[in-house]
Structure formats: C-alpha cells, structure tokens
Structure 1
Amino acid sequence: VWSKRRLPIRFKIKKKHFLLSEDWTFVNHGAFGAVLKEVLECNQAIQRYIELQPLRFLDRELFPLVVHSQKQIAEFVGCKASDIVFVENATTGTNSILNSLSFNEKSVIYCLDTTYGAVKKSMTEICKRTGATVQMENLTYPIASANDIISLVESTLCSRTTLAVFDHIPSNMGFVMPVQKLVEICHKRNVPVLIDGAHAIGTLDLNIPRIGCEYYVTNLHKWFCAAKGCAIMYVCPDLQDSIKALNVSHGSGYGFHAEHTFTGLKDYSPYISAQVALNFWIAIGPEVIRQRNSSLLNQAVQLLLEKWRSHTIAPIDMHASMCCAALPSAFYPSQEATYEMGENIQNILYHKYKIEIPIKCINGKLYCRISVHLYNEIEDY
C-alpha cells in the first residue's frame, strides 16, 4: 500500500518496490535507472495480454491506451497532452528534433561541454551532412555558482546561432543547470533552445512550459522509475508540424502525434505502464520523494567530503539527486588524471567490492558521481 507521508531516511523500500540485488551497493541510478516492481509487473502483463490477440491490441486498443497515459504524464509535467509524444528515450527525441531542423554551412549549434556524449555525436553527424558548425564552450571546474554558467553563455552566444542545446542536469557532472535563465538569454537573441532533460522528471519539480524552451526531452525510465524504453518529447505547438519522427511509418502525413506515436511494430507497453509509476509518485507525494532524496544526498556528500577532504564539482545547493565529489588527489599525486585511471578505479570497485558507481574524469580530475534514490540508505555511501 502506498501512502502519502514523509519517508524516513531508513525507509525499507528496496525489497518492497525494487528488484535490485542485495549483493550489490547500487549508487548509480543515474546510469539507466531502476524500474519499480509494480511497473514491471504491469508491463509484463500488458505484453502477455497483447499476445492473446495481437491484432485486436495493435489495431483497436493501442492508440486510446497510449493517449490516456500521455494525458496523465502531460499533467504531471505541466503540459497539454497535445504538446508531448512518447519516444523510446531522450536520445531518440533529440535526434528527431535535430534531424528535422534546417541547417546549412552558415548554421551554428551552440552547446556547453556539459552536453551528453551521444548528443555531441548527433550534432557532429548533422554538421558532417549539412556543413553546420558546433560552438562548444567549456566551463571551468569546480564552478562557484550558477552565475558561472549564465555568464559564459551571455558572453559567448552569438545572434547567428541556429539552435542552442543545454542539459537540464548534465549526466557527467550531476548539477542542475539554470535552464530558465539560459532560455531567456537565448530568446533575447532569437535563438531557439533544445533542453536535454534526461535526468529531470523524478528529480525536479518539472514544469516544461514554464522553462520556455521550444524543445524538451526527458526519460521516464530513469528517476521516474518507469519501464525501460519510455521517454517524452515536448515541442511547442507552433513548431510541431516541422518535427518528424526518425522512422517514417503509417502515421506519416497525419500530424505530429500520429507520426510519432506509431513508428512501426515495437513494444509499446512501457508507454502504457508509465501510469503505474505515476500512481506511485502521486500516492507518496512527489515533493516527499524529492526532499527525501535531496536530504540523503546532502548527508552522503558531507560524509565523503569529510573523509576525503575534497570538494564537489559545484555547490551542493545546485544538486538534486546526483553529485560529483572529487576523489583524493592521492590517486594521482604527480600527474593529471585520465579516463583510463577512472575506469580502472571503477572496475576495482565493481569486481572486488560489488559497488556500482561511475568514476568521471573531468578536466584532469577524478570525481565519483553518486546517485540517491528511494532504495538507497546512508550506509551505501
């Protein structure tokens, strides 16, 4: 039974609602998430139901079920249902948007070094095909405040930029970006904005229209704990006709929703079972969950910083459910850290200690990126 109440730090939720093995210390929810048991059970029940009469489901029942789920998720993120579509992941949504826009040799795509690696590769491919260029600006770490990000964008964004791409919560760094302010800066220079919010829903009090961007993508299978292969893509109403699905299928030519909802035969059950994840969040209370995770994150970070006498990559008040804490310099006393060093430490933690945690190499320094969700306790850190 789910109840809307304050969750104590030691609330034993792991066994009840998650399938995570007790043999592992899992502090890497930010990688691919972890599905709720109830969601997975619903998802598998849908899959079994489909196979009882596949044509009945695909021809007669699929669209109403997806639309119903879409309406509920839209309300949770402050949108009209007509302004979002389900996609398999944030990368799919990002690629749909990037591949639908018009770029040429005069085009500039603006981003920061915080941009997710797969998105960087997508932009590179766009530039190879169209002659456009990517302008990527680098932050200096550790950052002192969100003003460091704002100042960098204000001083480097040019008015001829075709599109600006920002993370809401950068995967490598884990801090929350001041996206609403960045959108304001861009719009003053007539630059449209795509926000990669892969880590946002379930971590932040997300209201997409309030941010003001033209395009937004977020994964439900990460912090929202939906089944794998469930995300949403938001496109502001006046631009929806220009954003095409990556797969051209039977919905092509019938509008934004038809084109993106049915992109060929695939597993649509994660879109439908997302309602079960939503029920979980509403029953307990989104703010209760977020406050609990934030409180535990602060405790875990403080513990590590005291033990290691180190620092975070950004002020703790810029974080929600993830944070990068610098490893002691004793790990690399006489040289800059490398990706290989971080990978070696991560592999030792994995193979020897059964600890699942990423070690990030950022500007020659090693950071461990800790994640906090409902199943974690302070002992994990």
Structure 2
Amino acid sequence: MYVPRTARQIALFAVVFVEAAVVLALEGYVFGKFQYNINSKISSEQRRSSNTVAIPTYLALFIFGEVYQLAMTYDALRLKNTIQVIGLCIFNVALLVYAGIQFEQIKVAVQFLSTWALDDDSGSFVLDSSAWGEMRPTLIAIIGVLGVVTFVMVYICYQLYAEFGWSIYKQIGAGFDMRRRYLAYQIFISLLKFDAFFFLGFTVQFCVIILNRKDVEFGLTIAVIPCTVVALFLTQFAVRHERKWITGCMFLVFLAGMAYFMFKLIRMYQPSQESKYVSARKSLTVFAAITLFLILVSEINMIVCARNFDKGLKPYIASHSSLGKRLRISNLSPAADDTEKFDDVDNGAQFYSPTSPNRKRRFSLD
C-alpha cells in the first residue's frame, strides 16, 4: 500500500482530507436541519409531488464529490501523475462553483417548500419557514472553506509539479518524444477519471430529481450507468495495452456520449419541457456542459494516444503488479534476458525495458 512520504505529498493529502472532513460535517449539518424542519404530517405522496428529495440529492452529490476528490488525490500521489494533480486544483474550483449553485438552488427550493401548503391543513406547510435562516450560514461557510483550500492546493500542487517532473524524468529518460507520449497518456487517463465523476453526477441528479420511476426514460437512464463504467474501463485498457480496434470502437462510443448530452441539454431548454427541469436545471446544465467538454477533449487526446501506439511507450505504462510479476520471473529465471531494448522510432534512441531488473537507461542520473 502506497504511503505519501515527502512533505509536499503529505501536505496535499492532509489539506484535501481536512477539506473533505470539514465539508462533510457542514453538509451533514445542513441535511440534518432540512430533515428536522420538514413537516412530520407530510405523506410519501406529498414528498414526491413537492420534490423534497432535491435538496438531499444536492447534498449527497457534494459529499460524493469530496470523497471522490480524496480518492483521486491518493491516486495522483501514488502514480506521481502531474496532470492529475493539476486536474485536482481545477476539480476543486468546480466544487467551489457548484457550492455557489447549491446555495442558490437550496435557497429557491426551501422558499418554495416553505409556501407549499399541506392538503389537509392550509396553514401547515411542507417546510418550516425558519429553515433557510438556519441553513444559510453553513452554506456560506462551505463556499469559504472551498475558496481558501483552493488557493492552498494551487501552491502545494505547484511545488509537487517539479517533484513529480523529476521522478518522470528518471523513469522515462531525457528523450523528448518519449516524454511527450507519456504526457499524452497521463492526460488521457486523468480525463477518463474526471469523465466518470461528472457523468455519474449528471445521471444521478437526472434520475432522482427529474424522472419518475414509472417513466421509460428512467429505466433507460439507469441502464446507461453500468454501460458507461464498462466503456471507461475498456477505453483505459485499450490505450494502456495499445489495442487499436478496441480504441476505435470506444471512439465511436464517446461520439454517442456527446450526442446523448447534447440531446439532454437541448431538451432541458425546450418550452414544453421547461417546467420539468426548473428544480435542477442550473446544476444539470453545469454538469452536462463540463461533461461535453471533457468528452471532446478526451476524444482528441484518444487520437493522439492512438498515434503513439507501437512506439516503445507500452513498457513504461505497464501496471505495477505486472511489473512486479515480471521482475520476479526475471530474477528466478537464469535465462531471462535483462537487456531487452525498445527503440524510439522518432529519434533513433534506445530505451531499456523497465521490466528488466538490471536495466540501464540512457541519460539516467541514477
């Protein structure tokens, strides 16, 4: 199990962990206040018709975002992925933007529910009118915490960029073309990880807040979730192992994904559908727009990675488990060839395979 060792790595993980702990506590407080102020006389049918599930969904999605960011931070430190570290800073900015959207959406939802009278008593409402006054300071505090942590993260990530850059230099060597290929791979893998979060975030909101379980679209949208997860894993597998035909198929799947999100965006703003999306249109629009952008950039980067197939990068991006297994086999087998080389077809340089236990790399300073 990987454990952060340098001061910068520990600092980044500690900052993200503290942010997650504080934000989760504040979001939990908001959720508790919301549940406490819901009228106890409300029926399950009235809960569905008044859409009281919207606010818990916003809060749960935010909590999921913090937990996901913490996992991504650990993953970035483990892999020494400079691109993912930069992506974490951008992701935290996205959470900050969503915190502002959450503030506005919860305000509108609470004010709406505070004027929604129960059927059996016109003087009794779904939500107590004092709920917003109790929740407002906490929601502002969440925005403040995210803003401060974003600045701290940017500073630490800037320091880590140099540290991880040196580690990659030692691993890949000084060959510019090989480092460029490895950078393209890092960008692509990082994009896939962020694609997963924003797609799931959009789909969960769409299913829980917008759709009725009896709608045909509800079942179809739920079915898209496992299909997308499988597609992301297949895409990562195809690029890591340089499988051209799978990569081509996944490129077409990504195109279909773009068409899907464009359809959802257009439909949300159609006059006939406008009332259906009022409670979550801002949030859904942000998630759909970000997902569309990430898919487009992922497709462009997929083409770049595909052009780098069969050029000697594959051994360097092999998984740690595979590398460990190969090293053990090489150490046990006296006939193992520990001088296996790979050619850089662009500049004629030769690189020794990272699977060799006694490997030497050109330009290495070790």
Same fold (TM over 0.5): no
Task: Tell me which interval the TM-score lies in, with the shorter structure as reference length.
Answer: under 0.3
TM-score, length-normalised on structure 1? 0.23
TM-score, length-normalised on structure 2? 0.24
More contact order relative to length (CA 8 Å, sep ≥ 6): 1
Greater C-alpha Rg: 2
Between structures 1 and 2, the one with greater strand share = 1
Between structures 1 and 2, the one with greater helix share = 2
